[in-house]
Amino acid sequence: MAYAFGVVVIIAGLTSLSLPPLDVAILLSIALLITGFARVPIEAERRPEIPVWARVLLLVSTVAVPVMIVGMAMALWAKTGGLDWRLVVGSIVLVTGVGSILQSGRHHSLLTIHLAGWAPLAVIEGSVTSMVVLAACLPAAIGASYRQVQLSGEAKAKAESMVRVSRRAEELLRDFEEMGQGWFWETDRRRLLTYVSPVVARSLGVSLNRLLGRSFTDLFDLGEDGQEGERTLAFHLNARSSFQELAVRAAVIDGGEERWWSITGRPTYDGFGNFVGFRGSGHDLTEKRRSQQQASRLAHFDSLTGLANRFQMSQTLEKILNAPHERQRECSVFLLDLDRFKQVNDTLGHPAGDALLKQVSQRLERVVDTQGRVGRLGGDEFQVIIPGESPREELARLAERIIDVLSQPYSIEGHRVVIGASLGIAIAPQHGVTSEALVRNCDLALYAAKDGGRGRFHFYADDLHSEAEERRQLEQDLPAGYPFRG
């Protein structure tokens, strides 16, 4: 403002080819001094913590008073005849214009500058017209300024509300991420990460800065176990299409705990419809996947021995017998039953019986090795499936080896335990082309082996059916309650 006052005085003096009177010079000097030392008070007036009355006082003393003094000085200079009134008006316009620029956006300051600049001119000029115009403009100016203050307050309140909402959203987002409920990610159009939640970096064992700018797919281990997820994710990224609940394995550092995530994403576009990247979320799937794997294991494996259970063995046999090529349908089935196992349960208890079954399963797996699959059907009954064509002599040697190994003494809770084993053998397709027929005939062979003195193996033969039928008929012919011993 001091520069504006100086320019006004210089222009007025040069235009009128005169010097201001002494009283005018004194007023202009006072105005210049006030504006020269007004920087600190003006900055203080802008602080919201300053009381209202103090801010009004500072505004009047540092803004209104200097402008009013300049307006009064220019009017007095014109009244003495040394200055043209038109030049006075132009000077006031210049001073108030500069003040408006300096106080832009502060409507009450603008009103103060204009009133302070024009009011002395109207008063000193003294005409009725000037006084009427001043009186008419004053309420209008006050009303307009008041309305502008209202609008400014509403805009400020709206902006503050939006800031609070934004901060609240950021806090909720941060709490959501920190509580482990999920995480968020964003990429640019080249699929490079522009944002990812800090929890992801901690799960991977790397710093957040190392992840930003890297490819989105670097977050995942898309190896053999993740091939399906890799194909699906790659398809959606290439097609720029949305995807939901896609299971992927996290690319944890070597030695880190295996983690699985479920990710969801969608493409994003700018206001002109240009593709700008992807944005989405994810959550931890590790525990759910472990539960699913455990449930699957319980459905397919024996919980005591870890061997395949009846369901899994049945599926394996069905798969072989339903193979597309005839030679692929050949296989051999061993049905194995432990001898004297019930005696161990009765004398040493069921925990000892369970321990014995575990040792039996371990020995059985070692003997069969890679030749076939071993399973426990329940109780002390086991099954072995040998895929492919095998000579009877080779099957007989394997059966003898199984019986010999399982008949060796066991150590159960400090007790020496000796049991035996009996085997029935059926071969597909000679002894059956369906799993039901093959298992039934294998069971008849096992019965024949036990009937022959236990500790033996027996291949299925057609005459076993007739013997079984004769035995069934004999059982029906015996009186009720008569003990039958086959």
Which residue in 221, 380, 463, 477 is the catalytic one? 380
DSSP states along 70-133:
HHHHHHHHHHTTSS-HHHHHHHHHHHHHHHHHHTTT-HHHHHHHHHHHHHHHHHHH--HHHHHH
Scanning the structure block, which residue is given the tokens 């009133």?
A: 115
Strand runs labelled E in 291-441: 331-339, 373-378, 381-387, 410-412, 415-417, 420-428
Residue 380 annotated as catalytic = yes
What distance in Å separates the CA atoms of residue 130 and residue 294, rounded to the nearest whole number? 95
What distance in Å separates the CA atoms of residue 344 and residue 35, rounded to the nearest whole number? 110
255 burial via Cβ count (<10 Å: 0-12, 13-18, 19+)? exposed
What distance in Å separates the CA atoms of residue 325 and residue 323, rounded to the nearest whole number? 6
In 10 A of CB 289, how many CB atoms?
A: 17
Question: Does 139 sit behind a cis peptide bond, omega within 30 degrees of 0 on the bond before it?
Answer: no
CA 158 to chain centre: 32
Strand runs labelled E in 232-274: 243-249, 260-269
Which long-range contacts link 320-326 to residues 24+ away (Cβ below 8 Å)?
320/385, 320/387, 320/428, 321/428, 321/433, 321/434, 321/435, 321/438
What distance in Å separates the CA atoms of residue 314 and residue 346, rounded to the nearest whole number? 31
What distance in Å separates the CA atoms of residue 357 and residue 353, rounded to the nearest whole number? 6
Backbone region of residue 146 per phi and psi (left: phi > 0; alpha: psi in -120 to 50; beta: other values): alpha
Scanning the structure block, which residue is given the tokens 């003195």?
A: 453
Backbone region of residue 362 per phi and psi (left: phi > 0; alpha: psi in -120 to 50; beta: other values): alpha
Active-site residue numbers?
A: 380
